[in-house]
């Protein structure tokens, strides 16, 4: 599991601070080495990750993480990878729109990986009759053969589960006694589909806290199931992003700091990220992915 804490001594947390604002939370992978947990003092810690404003910021911060950057960054990835790591990003509208694009570009540009993405808005695991992620996931991993799959999915799953198997058809009603067990099974099957056939790691990004109370109540159930199932899988890790969307007083985050400017986190619908919000979220997720890869 990839956890989130409040100790600014965690280097990834301070990296996040340097690229997104005040150091309020940190994150490291469960297998992070002791050398990757260090104090990072940075005079640019209140600005965005901006090579123009702070030309040596990227080099010093990422060097302290011992991430594979430099003249030949690919050579510094774990030997087990033996090549430029391939990452596949899958998900709903978060991946199909600005966040997915920002994360893909950031991984490719700054972390020396080959990141590809497949997003489809208004989809999830609940409605294979509308869009079948099991089949699509199989096609995508066969096509790209990734070393790691990143998933952010489930925001549309607070509804009846449509059963489309050869042996069972119909639906399981949302909030019924059977729903949670059936959804957990579906998440498990999706992870198995994505990791089948070769050693491939999976990082499941927890859904952001939503500004709409009715949606957030649904997502509390969905997140809990995803977290439990993913962390029980031998190749899975769950990134709990919940604390990223609250300030130190527990108030919902409404804005982000980029280039020393306070900008809205979300679009007017209260669900989807604004473009600055998408970039901010990608900046927080990308180092977690890189540390997980570097840990082998």
pLDDT at 36: 33
How confident is residue 6, by pLDDT bands cut at 50, 70 and 90? Answer: very low
Q: Give the SS3 label for residue 118.
A: strand
pTM of the model: 0.75
The yes or no reply on domain 75-294 and CATH 3.90.180.10 is: no
From 19-23, 159-163, 219-223, 268-272, the region with the lowest mean pLDDT? 19-23
pLDDT at 77: 53
Mean pLDDT of 202-215: 92
Greatest mean pLDDT range, 33-37, 63-67, 283-287? 283-287
The gap from C-alpha 116 to its chain's centroid, in whole angstroms, comes to 14
pLDDT at 60: 43
Q: Give the SS3 label for residue 256.
A: strand
pLDDT tens digits, 115-143: 999 999 999 999 999 999 999 999 999 99
From 35-44, 134-143, 204-213, 241-250, the region with the lowest mean pLDDT? 35-44
Determine how β-strand 26-29 pairs with β-strand 2-5.
antiparallel
Determine how β-strand 86-91 pairs with β-strand 148-152.
parallel
64: how many CB neighbours lie within 10 A of its CB? Answer: 20
User: What is the distance between the alpha carbons of residues 281 and 249, in angstroms, rounded to a whole number?
Assistant: 20
């Amino acid at each position: 599991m990839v956890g989130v804490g409040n100790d600014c001594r965690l280097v990834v947390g301070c990296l996040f601070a340097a690229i997104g604002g005040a150091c309020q939370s940190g994150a490291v992978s469960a297998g992070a080495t002791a050398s990757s947990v260090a104090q990072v003092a940075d005079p640019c810690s209140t600005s965005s990750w901006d090579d123009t404003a702070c030309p040596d910021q990227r080099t010093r911060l990422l060097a302290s993480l011992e991430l594979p950057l430099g003249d030949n960054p690919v050579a510094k990835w774990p030997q087990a990878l033996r090549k430029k790591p391939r990452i596949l990003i899958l998900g709903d509208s978060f991946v199909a729109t600005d966040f997915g694009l920002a994360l893909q570009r950031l991984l490719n540009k700054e972390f020396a990986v080959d990141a590809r993405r497949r997003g489809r808005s208004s989809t999830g695991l609940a409605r294979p009759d509308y869009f079948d992620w099991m089949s699509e996931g199989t096609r995508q991993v066969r096509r790209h053969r990734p070393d790691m799959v990143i998933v952010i999915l489930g925001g549309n799953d607070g509804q009846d589960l449509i059963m489309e198997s050869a042996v069972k058809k119909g639906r399981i009603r949302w909030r019924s006694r059977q729903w949670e067990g059936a959804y957990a099974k579906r998440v498990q099957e999706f992870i198995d589909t994505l990791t089948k056939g070769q050693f491939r790691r999976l990082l499941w990004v927890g859904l952001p806290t939503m500004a709409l109370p009715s949606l957030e109540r649904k997502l509390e159930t969905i997140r809990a199931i995803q977290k439990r199932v993913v962390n029980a899988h031998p190749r899975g890790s769950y990134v709990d992003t919940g604390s990223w969307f609250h300030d130190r007083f527990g108030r919902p985050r409404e804005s982000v700091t980029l280039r020393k400017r306070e900008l809205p986190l979300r679009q007017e619908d209260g669900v989807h990220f604004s473009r600055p919000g998408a970039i901010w979220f990608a900046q927080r997720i990308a180092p977690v992915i890189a540390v997980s890869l570097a840990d082998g």
